């Protein structure tokens, strides 16, 4: 339960938000919560990260998440779509649907989009289309953008678990900094 005087930040994402493979407190959402607490800021963090979640899955789950108050909504989906080679046009429509649902229910909520990159093996056209989804949405909805959530972590073996996809605790510390760089201005 959220205290009445606290605002709510919802991280709506996949295994990255869910801190796959490590302790939740070591993940970027847990680290962000810790930082907010240590600064004594009046925010409660809700981690709605679900491993394996796609933008289509998020679309079906959003109503349920919006049953609680939302002041800042951090949308961290799309990575699994890219890994599955889902058409960026479909992913974009799903992300747009989610943002619209949040705006509809909480018009004053601030939206943050966590940009992702598609793996290069999907080809330049796919990766380019995928990369453009996030800035395009941010512009359309006047949302804040984390250009690339895994900046400084993605593709660096020692900062990722053996699967090469999910960050280690050290990797999550860098991801938390990437998030903070944008989130700090909204608090």
Q: Which two tokens stand for residue 116?
A: 């992702």
Q: Assess whether 15 carries a catalytic annotation.
A: yes
The catalytically annotated residue of 17, 81, 166, 172 is 166
Q: Which of 5, 38, 108, 163 is catalytic?
A: 163
Give the separation between CA 33 and CA 43, rounded to whole angstroms.
Answer: 8
Catalytic residue at 128? no
Give CA–CA dist 151/115, Å, rounded: 10
Is 163 an active-site residue?
yes
CA distance 113 to 157: 25
Q: Shortest CA distance to 176 belongs to which of 156, 151, 139?
A: 151
Asked whether 14 and 77 are in contact (CB, 8 A), the reply is yes
7/43 Cα distance (integer angstroms) = 5
Q: Name the active-site residue from 15, 17, 71, 172.
A: 15
β-bridge pairing 7-13 and 72-76? parallel
**Catalytically active residues, by annotation:** 15, 163, 166
């Amino acid at each position: 339960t959220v205290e009445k005087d606290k605002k709510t930040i919802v991280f709506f994402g996949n295994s990255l938000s869910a801190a796959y493979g490590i302790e939740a407190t070591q993940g970027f959402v847990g680290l962000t919560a810790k930082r907010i607490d240590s600064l004594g800021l009046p925010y409660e963090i809700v981690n709605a990260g679900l491993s394996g979640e796609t933008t289509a899955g998020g679309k079906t789950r959003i109503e349920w998440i919006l049953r609680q108050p939302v002041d800042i909504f951090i949308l961290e989906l799309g990575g699994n779509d890219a890994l599955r080679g889902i058409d960026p046009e479909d992913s974009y429509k799903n992300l747009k649907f989610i943002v619209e649902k949040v705006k509809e229910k909480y018009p004053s909520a601030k939206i943050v989009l966590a940009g992702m990159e598609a793996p290069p093996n999907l080809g330049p056209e796919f990766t380019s289309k995928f990369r453009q989804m996030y800035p395009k949405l941010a512009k359309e909805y006047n949302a804040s953008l984390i250009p690339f959530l895994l900046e400084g972590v993605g593709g660096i073996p020692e900062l990722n678990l053996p699967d090469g996809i999910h960050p280690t605790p050290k990797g999550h510390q860098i991801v938390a900094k990437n998030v903070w760089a944008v989130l700090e201005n909204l608090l």
